[in-house]
């Protein structure tokens, strides 16, 4: 519901006709609105001249006009023929950034349909591509761009406080993108549910499955596709009792941590359990396997049905939720930012604006280049405009408040971003993506937000081409390496030492990998895991085994276009290379124990013989359909050693098994994680270990036959797992995280 009346003011409007000179527009300088045929500024002669031009050529010819006094932002196309085209509950998104271009899902008044529009940053204007996303006028939408496919969830909506209604299909349309022609093409439409609902949101997990959530029958509902991202299953309620909510409650879904999907929902039943609740699902687990809900905030009036969720990235792994409360005292928070630190599972709450400031319908965007959170919401209109300072649920003006990511603190200072001097603006929306992030495909995106002026059936937008709030300059400074460990030229370095480099600024974690941070002795590469600590801006290389004694090593942090980059996409200017020497051997013949993480893992399935599952967070082992897991370990550094013992460490995921699984040698090492399918699977050889029966989410150690592994030292070791049991087992893959990844423990002589 909406402050101050706690009544949304939302309704399905009867579209009213708009004449040809309603208010066409052209962009103005500095984002300030400029209008063609604006009734405030142009006289009859100008209107007549414009009309003759239109009638004579069929084209609207731009006519110079001043911005209306008090306008901020740019007035856009008409959405006459539909009601609230940007939606009214803030988890829905209308915009996305792809191929260096902003795109939008906008209503096209001339064709009476929603279509894909392209944003021209140079002229700050929108152009329809002609690609239809939805022909039903009174629908709301949530848009998701995953870097390859565009997903548009479209639903008929009920008004605030009304129950869901059956027999109104909610659909998801998918579109591919052609980079050469910069065009979208439809891939088909599937049905998510058969309900008219108040709101709906979607996101995609690491296995390729798209999730959706909504409120139906006073309960939080979900649905999910298969890994094709298209075929929906049967909707089901969240299993927790706390997901039983009021008719006014809503939910939102977001993928996070690289292998999880979270759902947040409001609970307003009028008792001490009221609040905003959070629960998550690990990718690959059964659909109904969700964690016990925790309250991000709790207490009567601590929540409302407005929320907007974002995930920062895998390096810091924080989730942010901009929410609305139902508090009524002037000093209490009306919109808040809730922040989840996934390392501690703790939520913190930060006031964005109080009841006295009269904010409404808030969204949050993450600007990675400047490490800022930028929030946008409706506030009372500024002085000098019609209805200035009026606190109403009908609308107002769109303002921005921002804060640094590392120290979250919102002041009362806010900046007007969209103001129509004589009308109310409302329902601001933008993108699910993080801004100015090379890791997310939004490098140099700037910022674009879209809103609605209901009274005139017009879109308005604010575009900030820079990376950061306040019209600042984009970060173009290359990062530097400010320190290394061991230091360059160091001697007597411990053989168990890690290698690290400290950077001058926040880095793009996705560019810090075992390919860009390397260690070698002579021309031989040292197998190692590479991680990035975003808090301290440190990249660490952890060798898979102890270094050789009395040996000189060369460490390299790669620069240039293929090297490490900062959060704004600027590359380290050149390779940073240094050497160090380990301490001499002290003698003795103590056995060496090494723990190796799988360098590749995947599984294949007879149920999808041409499908590759290399990016899945789980490994399937089953006999119906036949599922075979494959693992690869690098034993190349251990030529000439002898194996005293060998243990395979695995962790079960969302499914245990009453059967037994066989660990077998695979002599063909040519298979790749991203290429192998059931049709191209390598043959399994001798059984060297067994597992089972098993339960879910449990660690297992499988002793392996050492004699069978002796010939693998100095090479790549490939293992396979099959079973004769139809009670399938799911195991965590390395994509599920380093702590649960398959490992091989060797004791070497």
Q: What does the pLDDT look like over 612-636, one tens digit per residue?
A: 999 999 999 999 899 999 999 998 8
Q: What are the residues facing 149 on neighbouring strands?
A: 176
Alpha-carbon span 200 to 169, nearest angstrom:
12
Question: What's the pLDDT score for residue 15?
Answer: 31
Alpha-carbon span 487 to 310, nearest angstrom:
39
Least confident of 5-9, 130-134, 545-549, 713-717: 5-9
User: What average pLDDT does the segment 20-25 reach?
Assistant: 32
pLDDT tens track for 735-745: 998 889 999 99
Confidence of residue 30 (pLDDT cuts 50, 70, 90): very low
Specify whether 172 is located in the same domain as 244.
yes
CATH number for the domain that contains residue 663: 2.60.120
Least confident of 38-42, 151-155, 390-394, 422-426: 38-42
Residue 61 lies in a domain: no
pLDDT tens track for 531-557: 988 767 899 999 988 888 889 999 999
Domain that holds residue 520: 481-581
Residue 102 lies in a domain: yes
Alpha-carbon span 433 to 439, nearest angstrom:
11
Specify whether 577 is located in the same domain as 599.
no
Task: Tell which residue, 398, 391, 394, has the closest CA to residue 7.
Answer: 394
Alpha-carbon span 313 to 320, nearest angstrom:
11
Alpha-carbon span 394 to 4, nearest angstrom:
10
What is the enclosing helix (H) or strand (E) of 361? strand 360-367
Confidence of residue 1 (pLDDT cuts 50, 70, 90): low
Neighbours of 682 (CB within 10 A): 17
Q: pLDDT at residue 414 above 80?
A: yes
Residue 299 lies in a domain: yes
Specify whether 458 is located in the same domain as 390.
yes
Given a contact cutoff of 8 angstroms between Cβ atoms, the answer to whether 355 and 328 are in contact is yes
pLDDT tens track for 111-147: 999 999 999 998 999 999 999 999 999 999 999 999 9
pLDDT tens track for 343-356: 889 999 999 999 99
Q: pLDDT at residue 101 above 50?
A: yes
Least confident of 34-48, 454-468, 575-589: 34-48
Task: Tell which residue, 136, 153, 157, 166, has the closest CA to residue 224.
Answer: 153
Alpha-carbon span 660 to 702, nearest angstrom:
12
pLDDT tens track for 266-279: 999 999 999 999 99
Residue 711's contacts (CB-CB under 8 Å, 6 or more residues apart) are none
Q: pLDDT at residue 474 above 60?
A: no
Work out the mean pLDDT of the chain and round it to a whole number. Answer: 87
Residue 194: both structure tokens together: 């058969």
Task: Tell which residue, 568, 556, 558, 512, has the closest CA to residue 537.
Answer: 512
Specify whether 80 is located in the same domain as 183.
yes
Alpha-carbon span 517 to 541, nearest angstrom:
7
- How far is CA 35 from each of CA 68, 138, 270, 423, rounded to the nearest angstrom? 8, 27, 48, 14
Alpha-carbon span 175 to 368, nearest angstrom:
27
Question: What's the pLDDT score for residue 515?
Answer: 93
Specify whether 443 is located in the same domain as 509.
no
Q: Which of 556, 581, 606 is at the close of a domain?
A: 581
CATH number for the domain that contains residue 247: 2.120.10.10
Residue 158: both structure tokens together: 């009920």
Q: pLDDT at residue 471 above 80?
A: no
Specify whether 448 is located in the same domain as 507.
no
Confidence of residue 299 (pLDDT cuts 50, 70, 90): very high
Confidence of residue 44 (pLDDT cuts 50, 70, 90): very low
Q: pLDDT at residue 661 above 80?
A: yes
Specify whether 448 is located in the same domain as 331.
yes
Residue 531: both structure tokens together: 């991680």
Neighbours of 59 (CB within 10 A): 8
Residue 49 lies in a domain: no
Neighbours of 527 (CB within 10 A): 17
Given a contact cutoff of 8 angstroms between Cβ atoms, the answer to whether 341 and 322 are in contact is no
- How far is CA 435 from each of CA 113, 120, 237, 367, 373, rounded to the nearest angstrom? 29, 18, 33, 5, 10
Q: pLDDT at residue 22 above 60?
A: no
Residue 575's contacts (CB-CB under 8 Å, 6 or more residues apart) are 556, 557, 558, 559, 560, 563
Residue 708: both structure tokens together: 């069978």
Residue 564 lies in a domain: yes
Residue 61: both structure tokens together: 């010819």
Specify whether 510 is located in the same domain as 638.
no
Task: Tell which residue, 181, 172, 215, 175, has the closest CA to residue 195.
Answer: 215
Alpha-carbon span 395 to 387, nearest angstrom:
10
Residue 525: both structure tokens together: 């590469």
Q: Which of 529, 553, 581 is at the close of a domain?
A: 581
Largest CA distance in the chain: 100
To the nearest whole percent, how much of the chain has pLDDT over 90? Answer: 69
Least confident of 141-145, 421-425, 435-439: 435-439
- Left, alpha or beta for 428 (phi > 0: left; psi -120 to 50: alpha)? beta
User: What average pLDDT does the segment 566-591 reach?
Assistant: 82
Specify whether 570 is located in the same domain as 596.
no
Least confident of 337-351, 481-495, 595-609: 481-495
Q: Which of 528, 557, 581 is at the close of a domain?
A: 581
Specify whether 175 is located in the same domain as 236.
yes
User: What average pLDDT does the segment 637-653 reach?
Assistant: 88
CATH number for the domain that contains residue 486: 2.60.40.1220
Alpha-carbon span 396 to 586, nearest angstrom:
76
Alpha-carbon span 527 to 596, nearest angstrom:
9
Secondary structure (3-state) at 556: strand
Task: Tell which residue, 492, 497, 548, 560, has the closest CA to residue 522.
Answer: 548
Question: What's the pLDDT score for residue 20?
Answer: 28
pLDDT tens track for 53-94: 333 333 333 323 335 789 999 999 999 999 899 998 888 999
Specify whether 367 is located in the same domain as 413.
yes
Q: Residue 243 burial by CB count (10 A; 0-12/13-18/19+): exposed, middle or buried? A: buried
Specify whether 449 is located in the same domain as 576.
no
**How many structural domains is the chain composed of?**
3
Residue 556: both structure tokens together: 């390299």
**Cα 375 to chain centroid, rounded:** 17
Residue 55 lies in a domain: no
Secondary structure (3-state) at 454: helix
Q: pLDDT at residue 280 above 60?
A: yes
Secondary structure (3-state) at 209: coil
Q: pLDDT at residue 155 above 50?
A: yes
Rg, C-alpha atoms of the chain: 29
Task: Tell which residue, 385, 358, 365, 370, has the closest CA to residue 462.
Answer: 365
Given a contact cutoff of 8 angstroms between Cβ atoms, the answer to whether 556 and 576 are in contact is yes
Q: pLDDT at residue 482 above 60?
A: yes
Residue 2 lies in a domain: no
More confident residue, 139 or 37: 139
Given a contact cutoff of 8 angstroms between Cβ atoms, the answer to whether 632 and 669 are in contact is yes
Residue 349 lies in a domain: yes
To the nearest whole percent, how much of the chain has pLDDT over 70? Answer: 89
Alpha-carbon span 35 to 191, nearest angstrom:
40
User: What average pLDDT does the segment 153-164 reach?
Assistant: 94
């Amino acid at each position: 519901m909406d402050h101050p009346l706690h009544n949304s003011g939302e309704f399905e409007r009867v579209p009213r006709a708009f004449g040809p000179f309603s208010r066409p527009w052209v962009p103005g300088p500095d984002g300030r609105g400029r209008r063609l045929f604006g009734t405030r500024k142009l006289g009859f002669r100008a209107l007549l001249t414009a009309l003759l031009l239109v009638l004579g050529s069929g084209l609207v010819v731009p006519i110079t006009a001043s911005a209306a006094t008090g306008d901020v932002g740019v007035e856009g196309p008409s959405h006459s023929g539909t009601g609230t085209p940007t939606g009214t509950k803030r988890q829905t998104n209308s915009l996305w950034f792809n191929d260096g271009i902003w795109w939008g899902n906008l209503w096209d008044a001339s064709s009476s349909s929603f279509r894909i529009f392209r944003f021209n940053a140079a002229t700050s204007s929108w152009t329809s591509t002609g690609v239809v996303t939805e022909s039903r006028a009174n629908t709301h939408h949530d848009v998701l761009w995953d870097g390859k496919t565009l997903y548009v969830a479209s639903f008929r909506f009920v008004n605030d406080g009304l129950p869901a209604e059956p027999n109104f299909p909610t659909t998801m349309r998918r579109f591919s993108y052609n980079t050469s022609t910069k065009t979208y093409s439809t891939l088909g439409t599937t049905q998510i549910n058969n309900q008219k609902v108040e709101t709906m949101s979607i996101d995609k997990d690491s296995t390729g499955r798209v999730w959706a959530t909504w409120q139906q029958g006073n309960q939080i509902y979900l649905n999910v596709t298969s890994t094709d991202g298209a075929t929906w299953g049967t909707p089901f309620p969240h299993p927790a009792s706390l997901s039983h909510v009021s008719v006014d409650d809503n939910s939102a879904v977001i993928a996070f941590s690289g292998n999880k999907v979270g759902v947040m929902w409001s609970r307003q039943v009028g008792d001490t359990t009221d609040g905003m609740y959070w629960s998550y699902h690990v990718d690959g687990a059964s659909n109904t396997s969700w964690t016990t809900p925790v309250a991000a905030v709790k207490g009567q009036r601590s929540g409302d049905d407005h929320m907007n969720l974002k995930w920062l990235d895998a390096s810091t792994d924080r989730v942010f939720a901009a929410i609305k409360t139902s508090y009524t005292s002037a000093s209490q928070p009306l919109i808040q930012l809730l922040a989840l630190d996934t390392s501690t599972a703790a939520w913190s709450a930060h006031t964005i604006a109080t009841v006295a400031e009269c904010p409404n319908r808030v969204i949050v965007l993450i600007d990675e280049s400047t490490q800022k959170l930028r929030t946008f919401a409706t506030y009372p209109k500024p002085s000098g405009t019609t209805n200035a300072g009026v606190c109403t649920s009908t609308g107002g003006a769109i303002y921005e408040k921002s804060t640094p990511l590392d120290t979250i603190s919102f002041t009362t200072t806010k900046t007007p971003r969209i103001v129509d001097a004589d009308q109310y603006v409302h329902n601001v929306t933008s993108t699910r993506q993080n801004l100015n992030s090379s890791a997310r495909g939004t490098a140099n995106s700037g910022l674009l937000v879209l809103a609605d002026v209901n009274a005139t059936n017009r879109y308005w937008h604010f575009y900030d081409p820079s990376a950061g709030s306040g019209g600042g300059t984009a970060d173009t400074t290359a990062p530097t390496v400010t320190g290394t460990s061991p230091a360059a030229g160091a001697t007597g370095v411990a053989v168990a030492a890690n290698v690290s480099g400290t950077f001058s600024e926040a880095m793009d974690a996705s560019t810090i990998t075992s390919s860009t941070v390397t260690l070698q002795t002579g021309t031989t590469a040292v197998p190692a895991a590479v991680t990035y600590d975003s808090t301290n801006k440190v990249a660490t290389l952890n060798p898979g085994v102890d270094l050789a004694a009395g040996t000189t090593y060369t460490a390299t942090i790669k620069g240039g276009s293929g090297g490490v980059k900062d959060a704004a996409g600027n590359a380290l200017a050149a390779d940073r290379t240094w050497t160090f020497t380990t301490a001499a051997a002290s003698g003795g013949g103590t056995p060496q124990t090494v723990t190796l993480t799988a360098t590749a893992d995947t599984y294949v399935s007879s149920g999808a013989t041409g499908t590759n599952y290399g990016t899945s967070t789980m490994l399937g082992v089953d006999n119906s359909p036949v599922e075979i897991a494959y693992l690869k370990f690098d034993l190349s550094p251990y030529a000439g050693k002898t194996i005293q013992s060998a243990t395979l460490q695995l962790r079960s995921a969302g499914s245990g098994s009453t059967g037994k699984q066989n660990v077998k040698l695979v002599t063909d090492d040519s298979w790749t994680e991203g290429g192998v399918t059931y049709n191209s699977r390598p043959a399994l050889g001798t059984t060297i270990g067994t597992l089972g029966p098993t339960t879910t989410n449990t660690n297992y150690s499988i002793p392996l036959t050492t004699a069978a592994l002796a010939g693998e030292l100095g090479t790549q070791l490939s293992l396979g797992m099959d079973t004769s049991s139809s009670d399938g087992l799911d195991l965590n893959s390395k994509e599920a995280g380093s702590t649960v990844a398959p490992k091989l423990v060797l004791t070497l002589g």
